[in-house]
Each structure stands twice: as C-alpha cells, then as structure tokens.
Chains A and B, each alone.
Chain A
Amino acid sequence: MDDWAALGYLVAAVLFILGLKRLSRPRTAVRGNQYGAAGMLVAVLVTLTDNSIIGFEWIAGGLILGTVVGALLAVKVQMTAMPELVALFNGFGGGASVLVAAASYTQAVDLATETSRLSSSAALASLIGAVAFTGSLVAFAKLREALHWSGFPGITFLSGIGMVAAVVFAVLMAVDAENSLWLWLLVAVGAVLGLLVVAPIGGADMPVVIALLNSLSGMAAVAAGFVLDNSLLIIAGSLVGASGLILTQIMCVAMNRTLPAVMFSPAPSGSGADVDDIYAGKVRSTSPDDVAMLLESAERVAIVPGYGLAVAQAQHAVRDLTRRLAERGVEVVFGIHPVAGRMPGHMNVLLAEAEVSYERLVEMDDVNPTFEQTDVTIVIGANDVVNPVARTDPSSPIAGMPILDVDKSDVVVVIKRSLSPGFAGIPNPLFAADNSLMLFGDGREAVVSITKSLQHL
C-alpha cells in the first residue's frame, strides 16, 4: 500500500468517527450518516486505485448488483419491518467478511505465502463472520415470522460441541497450513453455530440478539483487517464492534438479564396456574367512548407503546389521537421502555415515522417519576414492561427488571386483544388492578375509535 492510499484510508477513518459522533444528536444525525457514507466512498475509490487490482469485470458486476439490490431493499421497506432489514444487511456484512478471509487465505495457500498470523486471523474472520451470517438470517426469518422453529432439547449442548469443534479446526488450520479444507470446515461450523445459538431466542430477547449480531459483524471486519493487514478495516470494524457491544449491554440491563442467560437459557416461562386467582372477577373492560370521556377531562396523558403497536400498525392512529388531545390542551407524553419492540429504539422509529415529535418521547428513568401526576396512562400492545410483579415478586421470571410504573397513574387504560401473557409467559396483575380498565381489541381500531369519540364530545 503506498502512502497516498494510506492517507486516503486515514481520511475515511476520520469520516467514520465524525459520522458516529454526529449520529448522537437528532439535529446532526442526518449529517453524521452522510459523513459515514462519504468515508465509505473514499475507501472504495482509494482501493480501486490499488496496484494489485488487475481485472475490473467482477468488481463492476458486484458493485452494480449490490447497489441495485441494497437500494431496492432500503427504499421499499416499511418502517415496521426495520428490525428484520437491519438483521438482513448485517448478515450480508458478516458473509462478505467470511468470503474476503477465504479468498485471501486460498490465495496465500496457493502462493505458499501463508503465515501463522494470517491463518489465525483468517480462522477468526471466517468463524465470526459465519456466525454473524447465519445468525442474522435466522433472526431475519424469525422477525418476519417466516420461521417458528425454536430449536430442540439439548440444542445448547450441541452448540457447546460446535464451539469445541471450531477450536479444533482453528488449531488444525494453523498446524496443517497447506490445506484450505480446514478453513471451509470452520466456516461450516460457524454457520451451524449461528443457526443453533439464535434459533431458540425469540420475542422480547430479540433486541439483545440484533445488537450482538451487529457487534459480531464489526468484529468479523476487524479479523478480516488482520488478514489483509489493513488499518481501515481494523479501525472501522472496532468502532462497530464496540457500538454493538454497548447496545447489547444496555438492552441486557433494561431486562435485568445477563447475556449468557439470554443466549443459553430458554425463554423464561411462568406457571399459568394462578391466572384465575389474579384475573377472576377483577378485570374491568371499557369502551372507546368511556376512554374518550376520561381523556377529555385529563390534564396529563401518558402513552406507553409496546411491540403490539408495531404489529397493529397503530403509530399513525396514535399520532392522530396525540394531536387531538394536544389541541384540547392536554399534555401528552410517550413513555418508552428501552426494550419495547424488537430492536433497540424500535418504538422511537415508528413514532418518528408517524411524525410524533421526539420531544414527546420520554425515557423510562425520566417518565417514571411523573406517573403519579398523570391522569390517564394508555398502554398499547405492551405487557411485561409494565408488569408490577417485577417490583413485588422476587420469585418471578422478570423480578428486578426495570419497568414503567404505569400503575401509579390515576387511571390505566390497557389496549390489548386479550388477557394472554406477554413473552415472559406470566399473568399481569396490572390488568386486574383497581385503577385499570381493559379496552379489548385491535390497537389501531381502538385508538381510531377513541379519537372519533373524542371529536363528538
């Protein structure tokens, strides 16, 4: 690599760093993303001038095909489908790192320039990249609800065997250097591992997995950087790896679960035995008209959305209700739990799409002290994140999980299809509380009806 190319890569790295810095504020975030894209353009252009590039047919074909497919996917996707699209893109990044490592390693083996450093970094890149690739595809299929398979008993044990096999193949790859078979075996084990580890994870644990896979694709790029001896891959990959790990950590804290618990213990499931004790005779259902009347006399209303909001595509209906209330002088805020939805920040994106001002979206720690002064809280499609059991019952599967204290507001209206439990599989005493009203039905239709009733008042 000549000095000019190295300088170009440095410019690209600086652009990535400035881009990430600017992504941290809504006001500058659009610019930040453009900085990142500019950095990528610089990196590609600099690479194309590299002396070792002789033929451009394959390059041109790949660039055109990838651009068309990527642009089509990005432009066509619905905002509610964002989690699976991010998972899919992430998988492609991981897959690309595998192939980069495989191509350089094959080349080095053919030319007998292979070294122990090369083989160990190629082993890491192919293993991590393959896990990120199939793991992301499984996450994609699960989020699209195209895959309902959640593994089989003993799947964790099988994953353990897979990890041991991966270590063995990596060692063999370093010892038996003339043979590129070990690399492909390692890719195969990584691919199976990605499948086995992600398949049992579902529902509310999804944000953790998506963040972790994001981190893995960054680490795969770092390993590919060691293979190619390329500083830019190492720097950019590390930035992504670190960002994914931090998000993973934030999501785990928000659920009071550890990463190993999310990955290797099956989804927590509570007993359904005492459901009748909790709900029998205590659940009061209400109608849109009654809710509208409550809202009419309210001064402060909090709306707490969950994954059900995305499923019901209720974000625009909620926006209309918010506007109607604001016109009447009601103060409306949204209480957002960090793991509401299927990826970090999912609710924020949905509500932003519906043009709900982000000043109205309040984080858990800031909104919790305000519930006591809130007249009406409307819970839409959320369950475990508002379950007071997390505070009261140490034996519950969600004990200690930080929740939104909606039960402290004067009235809680829960919009939900039925009394069915959330991801944690436990009943929610909130539904039977004295200050709770259930509005059964589809989230979007319910909110539309409330807004209509409010108009007639």
Chain B
Amino acid sequence: MELLIAATLLVLAVFLGVELITKVPPTLHTPLMSGSNAISGITIVGALLAAGADHSTFTAVLGFVAVTMAMINVVGGFLVTHRMLHMFGPRRRRAAADQSETDGEDL
C-alpha cells in the first residue's frame, strides 16, 4: 500500500471517529471506552502474523506473547463491555423495576 493511501485512510478514519464519538452521551462513556479499547486489540492481526511466520524462535515468542496480550485485550474488553451494557440494557428488567416503583406509588 502506498504511504499516501495509508495516510489518507488514517486522516479519514480520525474524522469518522470524531463524528461517531461526539454523539455518545456521558452515560455511556465507560462502556464506550472499554468497547473502543477492545477494538484497539485489532493489533492481534499483526500478532498472529508474527507468531505464525516461522521466521525465528525469537520472533515466534514475541508473536506468542503479543497474541496472548492482544487476546486478553480483545476478549476481556468485549466481555466486560457486554456485562456493563447489560446493566444499562435489558428492557424487561428495567421495565420490571420501573413497574415496581409505580406500583409502590399507589400504596
């Protein structure tokens, strides 16, 4: 890939990121951080290539450690974000909670 094309991708993606993120309400800032953090584990792609390249034991070990670290970042990041969002999320539980509150008002 030409350097200029790579730089173009970089600049456009930064603009896109800014557009996407400025719309996120403060309520979701923590899940946003942990979710985008998981996406930064995309470096797993490079880690896999390094670990599988069969160049030397040294680079394979570097690759192995990189795959492990990136995978912790990816799996842990998406899972913990899911856990958090679930608390913000499920309509049923939320509805039930609000229901009990309204019921209480009649008492």
CB atoms of A242 and B65 under 8 A apart? no
Would you call A226 an interface residue if the criterion is a C-beta within 8 Å of the partner chain's C-beta atoms?
A: yes
**How extensive is the interface on chain B, given as a class?**
35 or more
- Which residue in A39, A338, A353, A363 is a CB contact (below 8 Å) of B87? A353
Q: Is A100 an interface residue, CB under 8 A from the partner?
A: yes
Complex CA gap A177/B85 in Å reads 47
B61 to chain A, nearest CB (A): 8
Spell out B's residues near A (CB within 8 Å): 1, 3, 6, 9-10, 13-18, 20-56, 58-89, 93-94, 97-98, 100-101, 104-105, 107
Within 8 A of B (CB), among A229-253: 229-244, 246-247, 250
Contacts of B61 in A (CB 8 A): 58
In the complex, the answer to whether A33 meets B81 with C-beta atoms within 8 Å is yes
Q: Which of A33, A67, A95, A242 contacts B75 (CB 8 A)?
A: A67
Chain A residue contacts of B98, Cβ below 8 A: 357
> Within the complex, which residue of A29, A37, A110 is in contact with B31, where a contact is CB–CB below 8 Å?
A29
Contact at B6–A62, with CB atoms within 8 Å?
no
In the complex, A235→B36 CA distance in Å?
12
Q: How far is the CA of A231 from the CA of B46 in the complex (A)?
A: 11
Please tell me which one of the listed residues B37, B52, B83, B105 contacts residue A59 in the complex, with CB atoms under 8 A apart: B52
Least distance between B54 CB and chain A CB atoms (Å): 4
A242 and B73 in contact (CB under 8 A), knowing A50-B49, A106-B58?
no
Interface contact B52-A345, CB-CB below 8 Å: no
Chain B residues within 8 Å of A53, by CB: 48-49, 52-53
**Complex interface bits, A7-20 against B, C-beta within 8 A gives 1, otherwise 0:** 00000000011011
A37 to B73, CA, bound (A): 12
Assembled-state Cα–Cα distance A218/B105 (Å): 49
On chain B, the residues within 8 Å of A311 by CB distance are: none
Identify which of A79, A100, A343 gathers the most chain B CB atoms within 10 Å of its CB: A100
The reply to whether A52 and B97 form a contact with Cβ atoms under 8 Å apart is no
Q: A58-B52, A210-B33, A242-B21 are in contact. List 17 more A-B contacts (CB 8 A).
A: A17-B16, A23-B28, A40-B39, A47-B49, A58-B63, A66-B74, A70-B76, A73-B76, A82-B84, A93-B73, A96-B66, A106-B58, A217-B37, A227-B46, A242-B18, A327-B105, A352-B84
Interface size class of A (residues with CB under 8 A): 35 or more
Tell me, yes or no, whether A36 is within 8 Å of chain B by CB: yes
With A40-B39, A73-B72 known to touch, is A228 a contact of B28 (CB < 8 Å)? no
The contact string, 1 if C-beta is below 8 Å from chain B, for chain A 196-236, is 00000000000000110010011011101111111111111
Please give, as numbers and ranges, the residues of chain B lying within 8 Å of A33 by CB-CB distance. Answer: 31, 35, 78, 81-82, 85
Chain A, residues 115-157, CB within 8 Å of chain B (1/0): the string is 0010000000000000000000000000000000000000000
B62 touching A99 by the CB < 8 A rule? yes
Known: A240-B40, A348-B26. A355 touches B9 (CB 8 A): no
Q: Are A221's CB and B104's CB within 8 A?
A: no
Residue numbers in A under 8 Å from B42 (CB-CB): 16, 40, 43, 221, 232-233, 236-237
Ordered by A's residue number, 28 sampled pairs between the chains whose C-beta atoms are within 8 Å are A30-B86, A50-B48, A52-B52, A53-B48, A59-B63, A66-B75, A70-B77, A73-B72, A74-B75, A86-B37, A89-B38, A93-B70, A99-B65, A210-B33, A220-B40, A237-B40, A242-B18, A242-B21, A243-B17, A246-B17, A247-B29, A327-B104, A328-B105, A345-B28, A348-B27, A348-B30, A349-B87, A357-B97
A349 touches B73 (CB 8 A): no
Q: Which residues of chain B are within 8 angstroms of A349 by Cβ–Cβ distance? A: 30-31, 84, 87
In angstroms, Cα B15 to Cα A246, docked, is 11
